Amino acid sequence: MSSHVRHNRAFWDADADSYQAAHGEQLARSPLAWGAYRVPESELQVLGDVDGLRVLELGCGAAQWSVALAERGARVVGLDVSHAQLLHARRSAATLPLVHASGEQLPFADSSFDVVFCDHGALSFCDPDVSVSECARLLRPGGLLAFCCTHPMLYLTWDDARDQQTRKLHIDYSQLGQMALDEGTIDWVLPPGAWIKVLRANGFEVEDLVELCAGEDASTTYLDFAPPKWARRWPAEWIWKARRR
């Protein structure tokens, strides 16, 4: 296991209880929705109809998405590197298969899924060269990879000195990539060209890139994330949708 995965696993094991206390209820209330501002899947249609499909949620946390997709007929597996997060998942997903593993080393056979997805899950915390290659291996030809993660714009405009989100650029574009965040995790924040490169190198065609802004009345429990006023004007998150050739 790589050192960043070990680091992130320790973070999530320590943080799982307070994370679920802060966000679990909101996530369970709107389980089929993307990002901190919970933009409904019914509006975006990123995954579409999952009835009968084999779906892997990569970094499922308490598995709110997985439970809701299983109720819509998907054959879902929830996977997470954090044992503590999976204990929360087990409480809400009594019968769902849950797997304790890292997004960089997936214990499944080639072509065993139709859809691999996450909402701020493993693809934010893994080396994309490794995790995207693993996703490609697991997906059947024509299978869908969809993942929501933080938009680089958010990091570029974060003012560290004033500890707040701004409208100005504060770091160089070249500082994007692997980033050790003050919150305690090690994340990968790639610019669009780098995502396209790694997806294409692993046999994916990019089908869509959905940039998420907060709706007029949207609110969030992620209070240390982009404030609503900022997130209404600029995309704080994006969803990549790619198809295995």
Ligand X SMILES: C[S@@+](CC[C@H](N)C(=O)[O-])C[C@H]1O[C@@H](n2cnc3c(N)ncnc32)[C@H](O)[C@@H]1O
Name the residues that contact ligand X, by CB under 6 A. Answer: 5, 8, 12, 27, 59, 61, 65, 80-82, 85, 102-104, 119-122, 125-126
In the complex, least distance from residue 78 CB atom to ligand X, rounded to whole angstroms: 10
**Smaller CB distance to ligand X: residue 27 or 199?**
27
To the nearest whole angstrom, how small is the minimum distance from the Cβ of residue 162 to ligand X? 25
d(CA 203, CA 172): 30
In the bound state with ligand X, the residue whose beta carbon lies nearer, of 83 and 233, is 83
Q: Which residues pair with 237 in a beta bridge?
A: 150, 212
- Pick between residue 19 and residue 169 the one whose CB is nearest to ligand X: 19
Q: Compute the least distance from the CB of residue 208 to ligand X, in Å.
A: 20
* Residue with Cβ nearer ligand X (26 or 111): 26
> How far apart (Å, rounded) are the C-alpha atoms in residues 32 and 30?
6
**Total Cβ atoms within 10 A of residue 224:** 9
Nearer to ligand X, 23 or 170 (CB): 23
In angstroms and rounded to an integer, the radius of gyration of the C-alpha atoms of the chain is 17
Residue 167 CB, shortest distance to ligand X, in Å, is 26
Q: Are 100 and 90 in contact (CB under 8 A)?
A: no
Per DSSP, helices labelled H in 30-138 are 41-44, 64-71, 83-92, 128-138
User: Min. distance of Cβ 133 from ligand X in angstroms?
Assistant: 14
